[in-house]
Amino acid sequence: MITTVTLNAAVDVTYTVDRFRSGGSHRLPAAHRRAGGKGINVSRVLAAAGHDTTVTGLVGGPSGDAVRLELAAAGLRDSLVTIAGTTRQTVTVVEQAAGDATVLLEPGPEVTAAEWREFRTHYRHLLTTSRVMVLSGSLPAGLPDETYAELVLLARRHDVPVVLDCCGPSLLAAVPAGPALVKPNALELAETLGGSADVRAGAEELRAAGARSVVVSLGAEGLLAVTLVGAWSARPPERLSGNPTGAGDAAVAALSAGLARNTPWPERLRQAVALSAAAVKAPLAGDFDAPAYRSLLSGTTVTPDG
């Protein structure tokens, strides 16, 4: 079982307009709503790729109910904990003429100390049946930067490896706790370390600080991995056009599955690049294009890095 944790779940609302006029009003043919949050996207990809997965995290209010209904409709195992606050919405305005998008992110609900204690008890229980724990995304209000550090330590006590996808202070605080893998993208890595050091040097720095392996995602350039047994770079055959939002979540899904199965690193990275590139070819975050995945697997190159 690969369990994903989404502490700041969301209902993702997407509006598509031809041209966005700041200060104007826009009539929309339709609005698209979907349960979101990075861990939920990771579980969607895992389930679609045939892996056993459970979703946990915090949800509340009518939008929290909407997340749960949708997970049930998608056939995803829901082990979320209910809180009093209301799950946030995110709004993405896709502008077709310009081919880009504007994203508005609410901070998320306030989580009380009692709710956090309840979650922690639930999390400990889930550790007894999890092969890998995936912690993804931002923290809601009321939870300190040390939150992921605490969850990594609890997992280690149960000998469950953690894959961590977050950035900034919560990543820096969690690295000394010894996550099995962290996956920042290049920008997140630079911002977290507060410098413009090159990617390899930044990855080495996080490893020296306690992460057992560091995989940095580089958009269309693929992945750079620094591990105990070597460093590799893995590249897709070409830059693909499509929707790159959620490609990182697909990479995390493949890396988590590879960890659960102890797949050798080069093959694990090949699968992560092919699956994440195939996610670019799917319009919605959390989905991937299965035929594209199969052809991308053979076109992806993995080479030792130094």
Q: Which residues are catalytic?
A: 249
> What 3-state class would DSSP assign to 54?
strand
Stretch that binds ligand ATP, among 120-128, 196-204, 245-253, 287-295 (CB under 6 A): 245-253
State the Cα–Cα distance between residues 57 and 8, nearest whole angstrom.
7
State the Cα–Cα distance between residues 61 and 56, nearest whole angstrom.
16
Among 248, 271, 275, 300, binds Mg ion (CB under 5 A): 248
SS3 sequence of 162-194: EEEECCCHHHHHHHHHCCCEECCEHHHHHHHHC
- Helix (DSSP H) and strand (DSSP E) numbers for the chain: 10, 15
State the Cα–Cα distance between residues 292 and 157, nearest whole angstrom.
39
- The nearer residue to Mg ion, 8 or 79, going by C-beta atoms, is 8
Among 60, 85, 236, 258, binds ligand ATP (CB under 6 A): 236
Using rule CB under 6 A, residue 217 touches ligand ATP = yes
Stretch that binds ligand ATP, among 74-82, 114-122, 259-267, 271-279 (CB under 6 A): 271-279
Among 11, 280, 282, 292, binds ligand ATP (CB under 6 A): 280
DSSP codes joined into one string, 200-255: HHHHHHHHHTT-S-EEEE-GGG-EEEEETTEEEEEE-SSPPPS--TTHHHHHHHHH
Q: How many residues sit in the footprint of ligand ATP (CB under 6 A)? A: 21
| Sequence-distant (≥ 6) Cβ neighbours of residue 197 within 8 angstroms | 190, 205
Using rule CB under 6 A, residue 251 touches ligand ATP = yes
Minimal distance in Å, beta carbon 294 to ligand ATP? 15
Using rule CB under 6 A, residue 247 touches ligand ATP = yes
276 binds, among Mg ion, ligand ATP, none (CB under 5 to 8 A by kind): ligand ATP
Using rule CB under 6 A, residue 66 touches ligand ATP = no
240 binds, among ligand ATP, Mg ion, none (CB under 5 to 8 A by kind): ligand ATP
> What 3-state class would DSSP assign to 51?
coil
- The nearer residue to ligand ATP, 172 or 240, going by C-beta atoms, is 240
- The nearer residue to ligand ATP, 213 or 276, going by C-beta atoms, is 276
State the Cα–Cα distance between residues 168 and 163, nearest whole angstrom.
16
Look at the block and give the residue holding tokens 């929290």: 64
Stretch that binds ligand ATP, among 100-108, 120-128, 211-219, 262-270 (CB under 6 A): 211-219
Stretch that binds ligand ATP, among 4-12, 57-65, 126-134, 232-240 (CB under 6 A): 232-240
* Among the listed residues 297, 258, 263, the one whose alpha carbon sits nearest the alpha carbon of residue 277: 297
- By the criterion CB under 6 A, which residues form the site for ligand ATP? 185, 217-220, 222-223, 236, 239-240, 244-249, 251, 273, 276-277, 280
- By the criterion CB under 5 A, which residues form the site for Mg ion? 248
